[in-house]
């Protein structure tokens, strides 16, 4: 299996690479060129978190947003990746009153294979200033006290996680489940 991991300069990218092992090819988000970076060359794409929000930086992430819109490959967006999928799907991000950082309680509200072997309530690490309160186009899968924590595209295999599953022993199973889902479809 060949995974394209787009590095959005998250301080947690190392943990993602360790979890994916030799299955991933890492590409800096600033080097995405849709003329030379073809999603068809990969079995799936993972969008890492980042240290800059999409808000007021749409131009900086325009190639990544276009990649999300045009790709037919499975995608998992984490933190900033979640925000990029939100933007690519014409959903609304809103600013939180204060930045949220640390472990939070998440409740699964819709059954999906991405959450196999996780309890309905689990803890995961998050660090962000924007959140999604409601969805128009994407399907809500999990929530917390700060908003929607996970969603899925209704027609494509595109998932978004506002939290960092790579930073919690319990939540790491989400990445494993994502890989199992796509390997079953290959």
How does pLDDT run across 88-131, given as a tens digit for each residue?
999 999 998 888 889 999 999 999 999 999 999 999 999 888 89
| Proportion of the chain in helix, strand, coil states, percent, rounded to 5 | 30, 35, 35
Q: Using the CB atoms, write b or e for 154-180: b if 16+ within 10 Å.
A: eeebbbbbbbbbbbbeebbbbbebbbe
Is 79 one of the annotated active-site residues of the chain? yes
Is 57 one of the annotated active-site residues of the chain? no
Q: Residue 180 half-sphere exposure, CB side, CA atoms within 13 Å?
A: 12
Q: Considering the candidates 64, 79, 128, 153, report the single residue annotated as catalytic.
A: 79
Is 22 one of the annotated active-site residues of the chain? no
How does pLDDT run across 34-90, given as a tens digit for each residue?
777 777 889 999 999 998 777 767 888 999 999 999 989 999 999 999 999 999 999
Domains of the chain: 3-185 (3.40.50.880)
Residue with token string 């930086």: 57
Q: Considering the candidates 83, 91, 149, 166, report the single residue annotated as catalytic.
A: 166
Question: pTM for the complete prediction?
Answer: 0.94
Give 181's strand partners.
none
């Amino acid at each position: 299996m060949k995974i394209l991991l787009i590095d959005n300069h998250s301080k947690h990218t190392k943990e993602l690479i360790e979890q994916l092992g030799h299955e991933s090819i890492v590409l800096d988000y600033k080097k995405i060129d849709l003329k030379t970076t073809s999603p068809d060359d990969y079995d799936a794409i993972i969008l890492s978190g980042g240290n800059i929000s999409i808000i007021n930086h749409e131009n900086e992430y325009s190639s990544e947003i276009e990649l999300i819109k045009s790709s037919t490959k499975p995608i998992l967006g984490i933190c900033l990746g979640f925000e990029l999928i939100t933007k690519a799907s014409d959903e609304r991000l809103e600013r939180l009153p204060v930045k949220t950082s640390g472990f939070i309680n998440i409740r699964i509200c819709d059954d999906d294979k991405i959450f196999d072997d996780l309890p309905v309530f689990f803890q995961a690490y998050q660090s962000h200033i924007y959140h999604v309160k409601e969805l128009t186009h994407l399907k809500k899968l999990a929530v917390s006290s700060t908003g929607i924590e996970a969603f899925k595209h209704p027609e494509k295999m595109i998932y978004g996680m506002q939290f960092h599953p790579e930073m919690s022993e319990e939540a790491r199973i989400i990445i494993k489940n994502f890989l199992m889902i796509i390997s079953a479809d290959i």
